[in-house]
Amino acid sequence: MHTSLEKPCDSAAIVCSHFKELSNTQIAHFSSLGNIYRLWNTKINLISRKDIDNLYMNHILHSLSISKIISFCPNTHILDFGTGGGFPGIPLAIMFPEVHFHLVDSIGKKIKAVHEIVTTLGLNNITVSCIRGEEIQGKYDFVVGRGVTNLERFYGWVKDKIAQEQKNSLHNGILYLKGYANVALPFSTHVYPLQDFFKETFFKEKCLVHGYEKTMVSD
């Protein structure tokens, strides 16, 4: 389907090169994201105008790095807190069609655009809400985020949204994408340097933090 890697940062080919087992439906969804986001970015600044040409590398592949450390089991419930333009939630929902994602943000115009993108793609495993954090009801196996705020504040906002019952290979908690730095926080963490999974320069200073409360871990 993809005959050239001349512009990997602006092509779904880079996703296919890192994830060899994608279905035809997943490839079609990832291929569609470029045009869909370009269209919406002319209406609302979902992604920095100067960064739209790097959509696949800096946003889609970056979001999918979470799937390098965990393959969510079916019926996992994930909260994408502060989803902004739909990252990391939309790429992850394409990758895990049997997992339910709740994408939330308090900025109405962005959430409206995200809802339209989800509808265009026909992703029925995503719920989209314009809501403030304190209004979110229910519990989730994981809360994902990317560039929302500093990590300690983010964890403080969402820790009461995390379910106790464990069903995945990683302990329930947060999966947070951030710039690489020493992480010294008052909860258990494991830091995954993304350059361990991707050799592209963009990932050199990026990491994924898995954070969880020690009291949530069964003996």
What pLDDT score was predicted for residue 7? 43
CATH code of the domain containing 100: 3.40.50.150
Of all residues in the chain, the percent with pLDDT exceeding 70 is 90
Evaluate whether residue 54 is within a structural domain: no
Q: How many domains does the chain have?
A: 1
Tens of pLDDT, residues 85-138: 999 999 999 999 999 999 999 999 999 999 999 999 999 999 999 998 888 989
Structure tokens given for 215? 């009291």
Question: What is the DSSP-derived secondary structure letter of residue 9?
Answer: G
Could you tell me the residue range of the domain that residue 197 belongs to?
65-216
Evaluate whether residue 17 is within a structural domain: no
Residue 42: pLDDT over 70: yes
Pick from 137, 140, 159: which is nearest to 212 by CA?
Answer: 159
Pick from 118, 127, 72, 60: which is nearest to 96 by CA?
Answer: 72
Evaluate whether residue 26 is within a structural domain: no
For the chain, give the mean pLDDT: 89
Report the predicted TM-score, pTM, of the whole model to 2 decimal places: 0.91
How would residue 182 be classed by pLDDT, with cut points 50, 70 and 90?
low
What pLDDT score was predicted for residue 51? 86
What separation in angstroms does the CA of 213 have from each of 98, 135, 146, 174, 197?
26, 22, 20, 10, 26
Q: Are strands 173-179 and 206-212 parallel, antiparallel or unpaired?
A: antiparallel
How would residue 149 be classed by pLDDT, with cut points 50, 70 and 90?
confident
Rounded Cα gap, residues 88 and 125, in angstroms: 14
Q: What share of the chain is helix, strand, coil (3-state, %, to 5)?
A: 40, 20, 40
Evaluate whether residue 48 is within a structural domain: no
